[in-house]
Amino acid sequence: MSAGQLKERTVSTGSIDLYVAMVEQSDSPTLVLLHGLYDRWEVWSPLIDQLGDTFSVIAPDLRGHARSDHPDSGYELADYAADVVGMLDTLGITQAIVAGHSLGALIGLVAAADHADRVSHLVMIDPPLRQGEQGRQLLEILLEARQGEPDETYQLISELYAFSGTEQDWRRQTDWLRATSEAALQGMIAMSDDAAFERYLSLIERVTCPVLLLQADPMSGGVVSDADVAEAQRRQPLMRQVRVPDTGHSVHQDAPSLTAREILSLTGQE
């Protein structure tokens, strides 16, 4: 994909405006990419480089993140999913492949379950199906970091990720976290109650399109366990799982070529 193909613009969902990166290819399927908590569309750049010649790609900053609108409320998964549908409506797109990472994977799951006619294929990249106490504590630490002064945010981030990343990574994460609405972080904490896993399984059962779950290595920072993936597959026979060894939570960044190949295979574009 040439750099000139990628455009950035603002797209209305009917209720808020999303900042969106797009690659438009005539007569090509549309691929929507949904990032995780306190990320932004740029995390998809390696994947867009590999898939931008095959698909029309739409990668928004989620509500409450980066350059999109930051409403005071509306941070349940259904709100995010409605943003995706509203964005597609504005762009005149009837159906899309939806791929999401972490929070974005859960948003894609709700979109596929509640708006089945709009999602042709679903890709979930290391979805946090069961946060648990450890996950809640991490989210609360991130919220505390977001609420501090910039130097305090950086200090907490650098301590939290002391054994993974560089000073440049910590500076970027500090900037991106501070550009995320506190309400978005609070919304994610509210989703991580003990009943969340069963809610996600109920959604998985309702999905009618082909599903790919890319599982990061739990020993390398992946957040979804082998047992939970097995239960999700039992509930959803259309789901195919690919476990990526020695790869952390951000599979799409750590293994973009593998991610691209699996999306092409799922959608019959290989």
The domain tally of the chain equals 1
Flag whether 173 is in a domain: no
Those residues with Cβ within 8 angstroms of residue 262's Cβ, 6 or more apart along the chain or in another chain: 123, 212, 214, 242
Residue-range definition of the domain harbouring residue 58: 3-131+193-267
pLDDT, tens only, 1-60 = 655 589 999 999 999 999 999 999 988 999 999 999 999 999 999 999 999 999 999 999
- What confidence score (pLDDT) does residue 180 get? 98
SS3 126: coil
Half-sphere exposure at residue 88, Cβ-oriented, CA atoms within 13 angstroms: 23
The predicted model gives 89-102 an average pLDDT of 98
Flag whether 171 is in a domain: no
Flag whether 117 is in a domain: yes
pTM (two decimals): 0.97
Q: Which residue has the tokens 């039992």?
A: 234
Domain of 27: which CATH number? 3.40.50.1820
**For residues 173 and 166, what is the distance between their CA atoms, to the nearest angstrom?**
11
Q: Is the pLDDT of residue 264 over 90?
A: yes
Flag whether 95 is in a domain: yes
Cα 25 from chain centre: 23
